[in-house]
Amino acid sequence: MKLLAAAAMAGGLLMAGAANAGTLFFEDFSGYAPATIAHGATGQDAATSTSGNSITTDYSYRVPNGQNHYGQADSMYDEGTWTIATNPIDVHDLWIDKPGSDPFLLLNGATNDANPPPTAWESQGIAVGPGKYSYSYDLLNLCCNAAGPPGTPSYLQLWYFAPGNPNPINIDSVVQTSSAANGWDHVSGTFIVGQPGGVIRLGLADNSNVASGNDFGVDNISLASVPEPSAWALMILGFGGMGALLRRQRRAVAA
């Protein structure tokens, strides 16, 4: 009985630990007020969400106010610009028409050949311990509709700043947007944070130096901890112990 009780307690503690670990960061761009962000906003904490998230970027903000034609100050025709909106065609008349109610991040890729390239999006600091982490985000090719030129892919690199390291560390290989603007792609993977952990910042940059059609949307950026195999094994033992304990209790009541 003591072994079963200990296993059950271990399972309960691990379930609580897993619940507390879980998702460490999530950004769906729903907590911002796009119309109130200043035209040209850029740099550290260029915008702040009601969720507490913030956006740092080397791109320049365009207010989604109905201007979507070439030459209009707040259209997304300029390279190296960003906005938060619900339909691409509302901010650029050659981008896809994809009506929706959920806001997301829209970017006209910068073609600067700097190394590293200009930051398209960067999170605020996220406290992590050493270990394995999973990430995911949704990616949309914005160019173009039937009135526009053939779309060209964007080449995107997700990275993070490790504690004490001023240089970004690439998380995965370069991801290419679909050659046709045919819907959202889901990107995911894992990476390791070494000892002793600390505060990291996630970032996304565009590695393409092509101007025409190098336009993309990003949404649902997520970072979560991945339990170690030993933790899963102990959790399974805990579940087994709790199950055996419940069965023994039922037999005792029946007797």
CATH of the domain at 175: 2.60.120.260
Residue 186 is predicted with a pLDDT of 94
Looking from the CA of 103 toward its CB, the CA atoms found within 13 Å total 17
In which residue are the tokens 């619940």 written? 19
Residue 15 is predicted with a pLDDT of 41
pLDDT digits (tens, 9 = 90+) for 13-48: 344 444 345 999 999 999 999 999 999 999 999 999
How far is the C-alpha of 129 from the C-alpha of 140, rounded, in Å? Answer: 32
In a domain, 232, yes or no: no
Number of domains into which the chain is organized = 1
Which among 152, 166, 188 is positioned nearest to 116, based on CA atoms? 166
Contact 90, 84 (CB under 8 A): no
In a domain, 105, yes or no: yes
- Which regions of the chain are under pLDDT 70? 1-21, 179-182, 229-255
Residue 20 is predicted with a pLDDT of 43
Decide: residue 244, CB within 10 A, 0-12 exposed, 13-18 middle, 19+ buried: middle
Contact 163, 144 (CB under 8 A): no
- Structure-block tokens of residue 199: 């505060």
Residue 252 is predicted with a pLDDT of 54
In a domain, 102, yes or no: yes
Containing domain of residue 193, as a range? 24-227
In a domain, 204, yes or no: yes
In a domain, 9, yes or no: no
- Structure-block tokens of residue 234: 């102990």
In a domain, 8, yes or no: no
In a domain, 4, yes or no: no
**CA dist 189 → 53, 77, 111, 172, 223 (Å):** 22, 32, 26, 8, 10
In a domain, 162, yes or no: yes
Which among 237, 249, 202, 197 is positioned nearest to 223, based on CA atoms? 202
